[in-house]
Amino acid sequence: MGREQGRDEHARVGPCAFRPNIGYSTKQGWAPEVDYLLLLAPNLTPPSPLPGSTRAGTRLRFGAKAVITIGRADRPTRVGVIVTGVNKASDEDMNFLRGAYPDQVSRSAYLIRVVLVNEDGDKGDSAFSGYSGPNLTGDLHGGDAGAFRLLGGNLELPSCTDYSSPPAGWIAPGSRFQTCRVIFADPDQVRLSLSTQGNLYWK
- pLDDT > 80? residue 126: no
Confidence (pTM):
0.78
Range name among 5-14, 82-91, 112-121, 190-199 with the lowest pLDDT average: 5-14
Angle at the Cα of 75 from the Cα atoms of 69 and 76, rounded to 5 degrees: 10
Tell which wins on pLDDT, 113 or 32.
Answer: 113
Tell which wins on pLDDT, 13 or 147.
Answer: 147
pLDDT of residue 73: 84
Q: Looking at residues 132-158, what average pLDDT do you find? A: 92
CB contact set of 101 (below 8 Å; sequence gap of 6+): 18, 148
Range name among 23-27, 97-101, 104-108, 147-151 with the lowest pLDDT average: 23-27
- pLDDT > 60? residue 170: yes
CB contact set of 128 (below 8 Å; sequence gap of 6+): 70, 71, 77, 122, 165, 166, 170
Domains and CATH numbers, the chain: 12-202 (2.60.40.1240)
Give the model confidence (pLDDT) of 173-190 as tens digits: 999 999 999 999 999 999
